[in-house]
Amino acid sequence: MRTQVAIIGGGPSALLLSQLLRLRGIDNVVLERKTRDYVLSRIRAGVLERGLLDLMREAGIAGRMEREGFAHDGTLIAHEGGMFHVDFRKLTGHSVMVYGQTEVTRDLYDALEKAGGKIEFEVEGVEIHDADTDAPHVTFHRGGTEHRIDCDYVAGCDGFHGVSRQTIPLSVRREYEKTYPFGWLGILSETPPVDDELIYANSARGFALCSMRNANLSRYYIQCALSDSPSDWTDAAFWQELKRRLPGEVAGRLVTGPSIEKSIAPLRSFVTEPMRWGRLFLCGDAAHIVPPTGAKGLNTAASDVHYLYNGLRQVYEEGDPEGIDRYSERALARVWKAERFSWWFSSLLHRYPDQSAFDLRMQAAEIDFLRTNEAAQKAMAENYVGLPY
């Protein structure tokens, strides 16, 4: 098989890149280890930055999102002294959209399949060959048979555990990592959201987040120990603990119900450099991971797609390699800013086991500064709605 761009991975960043390239007549093939149903079963965050919204419109898949998504003009920050609102629209002129990552992925699959996009599911043993030459190729197995794809470029969108990052020699890549001493216990419930806006809560008992998927589907999180298991928490225990971490007026109107999904996610910050080796380009979780505070994971992957798509378009349409030559530089400049925001927001809202009395006072002062200072709120809002590409 021959194509122009081989895309490893079948998640939203891979599919978005595939769709954008296809619309410009750039041939590509997507390789996914699992089935479509498996990919769509993954539960992920659903706060979409303005840049991702624009990419979805350019890709022609924004219709359902604009009909069913929830535009959010701000967010609420709860703390020991009360709660305050950060008005994104007023401070930046932009909003975010609450629309599940699963739905973004579904819309992309539907668009690609309708247009005859090339997606190979249930592939095994993917290997990237000769990425540091002008003639890379990819091999994989399916049904006991080896297949080969010759291509011009390889886009590694296969996540932290995928083959793409590991293909870059250790002598070339450098990795930066921070692990956090807690996790997030999250549940999904068929209940109305407790508020029209997301609520981020800092409490003496730990962090909490009130989010939503739609008018009758809510997503809630509480900070928990890394040693906890979802089975350690009954629904009743979760709801009780969540209420303890929210202001009284919010807890009083919280509608509870059975969980339909329950999981614990560890928190980690991770970046690998560079994001390009020869004709292999890393994209999304293959190159970087952020803690979920601030919902930057999918959005940062989307910014990678923006830089890579435009670099490839520039090569094929104009014969100019400037965009791909500077891909790693441009993508990483924005990645590190997203990492900074996610680290800062996590530090603002969580309780750390080694925090001293001084540290807690500093955290409280930082929250009060954010509450009372418009410039601080504007800086937060600019980062939350998404820095420009």
> Could you read off the pLDDT of 344-386 as tens digits, one per residue?
999 999 999 999 999 999 999 999 999 999 999 999 999 999 9
The pTM is what? 0.95
Q: What is the mean pLDDT of residues 63-88?
A: 95
- Span 17-33, average pLDDT: 97
Relative to beta strand 208-214, strand 153-156 is unpaired
Q: What is the DSSP letter of 12?
A: H
Pair 152, 17 in one domain? yes
Task: Show the CA angle centred on residue 340, arms to residues 384 and 243, nearest 5°.
Answer: 60
The Cα–Cα gap between 357 and 359 comes to: 5
Positions marked active-site: 72, 200, 292, 296, 384
CATH number of the domain within which 380 lies: 3.30.9.10
Residue 364's identity, in one-letter code, is A
CATH number at residue 46: 3.50.50.60
pLDDT in tens, 118-161: 999 999 999 999 999 999 999 999 988 999 999 999 999 999 99
Bridge-based pairing of strands 288-289 and 259-273 is antiparallel
Residue 100 is predicted with a pLDDT of 86
Residue 210 contacts residue 250 (beta carbons within 8 Å): yes
Q: How far apart are CA 367 and CA 184, in angstroms?
A: 21
The reply to whether 257 and 372 lie within a common domain is: yes
Q: Band the pLDDT of 45: cuts 50, 70, 90.
A: low
Determine the average pLDDT of the residues in 40-50.
82
Query: DSSP character for 158?
Result: S
Q: What is the number of structural domains in the chain?
A: 2
How many other CB atoms are found less than 10 A from the CB of residue 263?
Answer: 13
DSSP letter, residue 193 = -
pLDDT of 43 strictly over 70: no
Phi and psi at 91, nearest 5°, equal -80, -30
Q: For residues 32 and 138, state if they share a domain.
A: yes
Residue 88 lies in a domain: no
Specify if 77 maps to a domain. no
Taking phi over 0 as left and psi of -120 to 50 as alpha, with beta for the rest, 294 belongs to left
| The one-letter amino acid at 282 | L
Q: Which domain holds residue 242?
A: 179-267+351-385
Report the range of poorest mean pLDDT among 44-48, 105-109, 149-153, 263-267.
44-48
Place of tokens 């401070």: 91
